[in-house]
Structure 1
C-alpha cells in the first residue's frame, strides 16, 4: 500500500499533464497514472497524417508555447513530442503502464487499483482521460455477410493498405474528411453521409477562425453556468483545402447506404455496388467502468458533473467535451479547465482537513 496522496490524476495525455502542472504549482502530492507505456494519451494511436484544426499559437498547454510556426497546423507526431517535452520540462510524476481498473471509496478518500496490481490511496481524483474511449460502429443490416474489410477510424493509420481499392468512409466530421481526402489520392473513395459535409472557413478577415472564437469569448463562454455543455459546431474547419477537394469529388459524397450484401452495399436509391473496405468514422462512446462503483456515472455510463465537478465529493474531471467551454477537450482548453478544477479541489482539501 502506498502512502496517501493529495490527488491521483487518471490519464497522461493533454488533460492529465495540464492538471499536473496546476497541481504541482500548488505544491500538492500527486501522481499521474498513464495506461500505456508513454505519455501522450490517445495521440500515439491516431492516424499518421492527423493534424490539428487549430494553429500552433492556439494549441498550447499552460506556460509552454507550442514550438514552430505559430500559424502552422501541428501534425500528430509534433503533438506527441510536445506532450513528452512538457512532461520532462516540468518533471511531472507520471507512472506509465498503470491502467486504472477500479476506484473505490476509502473513508473520505479513494482507493485506486491498477491492472499492474498496484494500489494507491488518494484524498481526491482527477479523471483526465476524456469520456469517449470505445469506438462506435453502428449496426447496419447485412453487415455479418459482408466479405470485405470493415474497420473504425481508430484503426486507420495511412492509405497504403487501400491503394486501388473501392473505399467508403462513413461520417461527415473532421476525421472522416481528413481520411477520405487522403484515401482519394490512392483509391476510389466516397464519403457515405446522412447529410452533406458542412465546411467552415479557417480564415476570416485575415485572421484564423480560432482568433475570432477566442476574441469574441465563445472559446471560453461558461455554458455550464446555464446547466449546459458547450455545443459542437458540427462543421469541418477547412484548414487544408478539404472543401475544394470534396467539391471536386476527391472524395465524393453519397447518401448513406442502407445495408450490406456479401460483396458490397445497397445505396439509398436501391442500387448496389461492390466495395472493398468500409471505414466508420462514427465517433466513440463512454467507457469509464472503473468509476461505476462510486456512483459517478449515469445509466448510459457518462460522468455526472457540472463544469468538471462530480456529484461524488473529491472527484473531478478535465478534458471532457463541452465540460466548461467550446475548447474544453482541446489542447488550448484543458489548461484553463485544469486551473478551475484544481482551485475547487484545493477548497475540498481544506474542508476535509478541518473535519479530519
Structure 2
C-alpha cells in the first residue's frame, strides 16, 4: 500500500512531537511515523531513577508547559512519558504506530519512505529518530573475553539487579554519574572516567545549559569567539542523588583501565581488579540508518546540514540530534526552537 503526505516525520519522541506542533500551527498536512508501540519515545526505556536536569517548567515542549510533579523538583522519566502522551493528544497529532521506517529514497520529485507497513511518498521528510537506539561501545581490549555481565546505559534498569556485586561503571557524563550514584549504596562500585569528573556548580541545571548552548551557537553564527558552550561549564549536572553521593565521598572516579580480562580489569600500573559486571555509559550515535539510501554521509560519517536541512537534499531535515542540528536540540526545552525553524523552511519549500 502506498500513501501520500506532504510531510512525513520519522520518530514520535520529543523532537517529532515538537515538529508536529509547529507543522500544525502552519496549517501543513503531515503524518508522524513512530516505531514505538506507545507514547513517550526513548523516555519509556530509561532506568528507574532517572531525573531531568531541570524543573518541569523548564523542560517543556512548545505550547504546553510540563506540569509540576508532586513532591519532585526534577521530574522522573515516567512523568515525562505521561507529559508526552498528553501532548500528542492535546494537539491531536497524527501519529501512526508502531511503524518502523526501513529506508528513505529519492523518487523523482518526491521522497519515498519505505516502512514495515507500507510506503509513503512525501514532498518533505523530517528525521527525528534521536540517538537512544544506537548506543556506542568503545573498542576496549579484552571486551569480548570478559566473562561477567556487560551492558550499556540503554539496558540498565535498577541497582537491585546488581546488589552485592562488584560493578564497574564506565563514563564521566551525566548517565555515568547518575548510574554510579544509583549503584553506590547497593554494590561494590568502581567508577571509571577518561578524565577527572567535572561537576557543574550545584545551582546550575538545564536552564543554564540551554542558555550556554544558545549563546555559543549565536557567537559562531556571528563569527565571534567560540564561548565553549556547555562544555565550558562542566560535564555533570549535580542533580540531588548525584550531589548526595558525591558529598558522601561515594563518587570518587578512577582513570580508565587498560583492558578487560576474563574475570575483571587491568589498570595502567599492571594491577588487576575483579568485576562481576561492567556498565558502559559511553554515549550514543545518531540513529540514521534509514537515511542510508540517500547516500548523504560525508567522510566522517556525518550528514552535512545547514541548520536542520540536509545540505545536498533540501527536502530532508534532521531534528533533535544535538548541537549540530540546533543548540540543545536533543533536549525537551531546546528542540522547540529548531522545530519551529524547520517547519517554517518546509512551509517555504512547499509554497
TM-score, structure 1 as length reference: 0.90
Alpha carbons 2:213, 2:328 under 8 Å: kept: no
Q: Which residue in the other structure is 2:321 paired with?
A: 320
Q: Which residue in the other structure is 2:171 paired with?
A: 171
Q: Which residue in the other structure is 1:353 paired with?
A: none
Alpha carbons 1:223, 1:325 under 8 Å: kept: no
- Check 1:231–1:133 CA distance in 2 against 1; reply closer, same or farther (3 A cut): farther
Q: Distance in 2 between matches of 1:216 and 1:112?
A: 36
List per-residue Cα deviations over 1:80-129 (Å, max 9, x = no partner): 0000000011110000111100111122211111123x101111001111
Q: Which residue in the other structure is 1:98 paired with?
A: 99
Moved more, 210-219 or 17-26: 210-219
1:23-38 to structure 2, matched below 5 A, reads 23-38=23-38
Q: Distance in 1 between matches of 2:8 and 2:29?
A: 9
**Structure 2 counterpart SS, 1:339:** helix
Q: Which residue in the other structure is 2:199 paired with?
A: 199
Q: Which residue in the other structure is 1:334 paired with?
A: 335
Superposition deviation, residue 5 in structure 1: 1.2
Superposition deviation, residue 68 in structure 1: 1.2
2:275 pairs with 1:281: no
Q: Which residue in the other structure is 1:65 paired with?
A: 65
Moved more, 214-223 or 269-278: 214-223
Q: Distance in 1 between matches of 2:228 and 2:79?
A: 28
**What is the CA RMSD across the aligned residues, in angstroms?**
2.4
**Structure 1 counterpart SS, 2:106:** strand
- Check 1:30–1:95 CA distance in 2 against 1; reply closer, same or farther (3 A cut): same
In structure 2, runs of 5+ residues without a counterpart are: none
1:284-299 to structure 2, matched below 5 A, reads 284-299=284-299
Superposition deviation, residue 333 in structure 1: 0.9
2:226 pairs with 1:225: no
Q: Which residue in the other structure is 1:344 paired with?
A: 345
2:9 pairs with 1:9: yes
Superposition deviation, residue 134 in structure 1: 1.5
Superposition deviation, residue 282 in structure 1: 0.3
Q: Distance in 2 between matches of 1:136 and 1:189?
A: 22
- Check 1:209–1:280 CA distance in 2 against 1; reply closer, same or farther (3 A cut): closer
Moved more, 222-231 or 123-132: 222-231
Moved more, 249-258 or 74-83: 249-258
Q: Which residue in the other structure is 2:76 paired with?
A: 75
List per-residue Cα deviations over 1:246-295 (Å, max 9, x = no partner): 35332431111111222111112221111111101001123312212223
Superposition deviation, residue 216 in structure 1: 7.6
Superposition deviation, residue 161 in structure 1: 1.2
Q: Distance in 1 between matches of 2:126 and 2:227?
A: 19
Superposition deviation, residue 149 in structure 1: 0.9
In structure 1, runs of 5+ residues without a counterpart are: 351-356
**Structure 1 counterpart SS, 2:41:** coil
Moved more, 147-156 or 230-239: 230-239
**Structure 2 counterpart SS, 1:192:** strand
1:236-247 to structure 2, matched below 5 A, reads 236-246=236-246
**Structure 2 counterpart SS, 1:110:** strand
2:89 pairs with 1:88: yes
How many pairs align?
345
2:258 pairs with 1:258: yes
- Check 1:223–1:298 CA distance in 2 against 1; reply closer, same or farther (3 A cut): farther
- Check 1:64–1:165 CA distance in 2 against 1; reply closer, same or farther (3 A cut): same
